[in-house]
Amino acid sequence: MRRPEEDAALQSLHARRLRLFPDLDPSRVLHDAEGLVVVDKPAGVPSQSPDAESREDLPFRLGRLFTRRGESDYVGVHQRLDRDTSGVIAYARDEAANRFLAAQIEGRRATKSYVAAVKGWRGGARTLKHHLVKGVHGMEVTSARDKRAKLAVSHVEPLERDGDRTLVHVRIETGRTHQIRVQLAHEGAPVAGDPIYGDAPAPRLMLHAWKLAFDDGRAFEAPLPGAFRRWLRGEERVGYGDRAAIDEALRDAMERRWGLAHAASAEAPTTMFRLVHGEGDGLPGLTVDVYDDHLVASLYDEAAPHEDSILDALEELGFAGVYVKRRPKKASTIVDPRREEVAPAEASRGTSAPPSFVAWENGMRFVVSLGDGLSTGIFLDMRDARRRVRDATKGRRVLNLFAYTGPFSVAAAAGEASDVVTVDVAAPALATCEASFEANAPTTSAHRLVKTDCFVFLDKAVQRAERYDLVVCDPPTFATTKRTRWTSGKQWVELAQKCFSVAERGAVVLLCTNDARMGAEQFRRFVKDGAERAGVSLAVLR
């Protein structure tokens, strides 16, 4: 239950978010008349609703925009673009436009042209004809004799070349799933940045819906994003010396996180989330998190030399302030993560936030401190894991190890766990955990904070034959106490064994690692070995 003052604060935050994350940038509306709206779709935004619960797709955002203008929110969908493809797309706003688009798009009377950035295109223009079928990992080229196959026809023409890199114009006759991507890959020239059909590095999927022309003479064009020609020049990632490239990547990231930004107004609000995911958003060595009105930028080795230009670009996004965390390659070995030169206590741009405040995630309250060392008190990339813990804990006894400030414990209590035991060696972290519990009071869960070495706790728990229905273990990569020294790697076998040894039959055990040196398969092997030592069998939930 939210208090009236909390509702007022969330409404105010939502109004500010709408200015930062508008329903749609007006410059992206290419045409809005005669019942037809044509948009330059940002990369990373779904062109249609992926499911009934989605609140981030382009039709939903257009509907909100029209509602704010006092107009009908109706948006008719007749074409689709892949989520990570940018460019021109048309929607209907009334029944007449519906009939028109159905005839143009579904009747293949419209001309659809794309630009793709590829490596390996040989020769000049040619027409590609392939038969496509759905495979295990996407679409595949198959024989015309395959009864499941559908013919795909694309006309390809080089526009610009630089060495083995080419921008090609692709006009499609058919509209098969992933048609351009599959056909170009089959020809030995996959689209750059394509995680399914190619491996040429790029800051994004380098496919853009360039032009859309109808047979009544109307035609629309979406400008080619700057990343395409930068890639053609050999810039496979955002160069931090290029301010325009930084700004474009940040704008794209904000478009991708539009749904999260507006979750502040949801019934179960979220006001903090990751805005920039480093390499995944074309910005290597940089992560940026949003906490209400503030940003927290973590700079790793590749981004660190460009701190000023990065912070300047972030400041211009319009948030109240920007904090910086300087994280060298061996940040986990920093003796004092609260040193001013590592993590300044005040915002480096704009105004500072209160020393600590309550932020929301999926309707749960968490106490965060943006200027208190390298960490803020919560790891935002674990949002979905906390939601799963909350949803799986009703009536269960929960043990949270290496709990830090206890976000998993708060989630377990929100899910009505019967008992929650929170274990960490750091008293200040446990004090923050207690503050988060108080912020979420009242709760039906009994909770206990235990300040001790987690290995010592586990050994004693095994001796006492303690058992839990859900065990969460999310250790750092390195940790040293008076009793033990932990290094992520082979020691995971012993730690997993101890966790399974205190797990009740049928319990859920959530084991997490942030060790970038360790691959997923190696981690699974360590966990499996630990389970075998503990004499338990596993069923992997995810």
471 phi/psi in degrees, rounded to 5: -120, 125
Of 44, 88, 47, 90, whose CA–CA distance to 205 is shortest?
Answer: 44
Can you tell me which residue has the tokens 């993560």?
A: 337
Residue 441: other Cβ atoms inside 10 A = 9
Query: Which residues are catalytically annotated?
Result: 82
Cα dist from 333 to 9, 105, 327, 337, 525, whole Å: 39, 58, 10, 9, 26
Q: Sort strands 207-213 and 86-92 into parallel, antiparallel or unpaired.
A: parallel
* Residue 319 structure tokens: 């948030």
Contact assessment for residue 69 and residue 93, using Cβ atoms and an 8 Å cutoff:
no
Contact assessment for residue 43 and residue 86, using Cβ atoms and an 8 Å cutoff:
yes
Contact assessment for residue 371 and residue 343, using Cβ atoms and an 8 Å cutoff:
yes
Tell me the β-bridge partners of 137. Answer: none
Of 147, 151, 177, whose CA–CA distance to 83 is shortest?
Answer: 177
Alpha carbon distance 189, 165 (integer Å): 9
Tell me the β-bridge partners of 131. Answer: 142, 151
DSSP track, 354-400? PSSEEEEETTEEEEE-TTSSS--SS-GGGHHHHHHHHHH-TT-EEEE
> DSSP character for 353?
P
Q: Name the residue type at position 216.
A: D
Q: Name the residue type at position 444.
A: T
408 phi/psi in degrees, rounded to 5: -65, -35
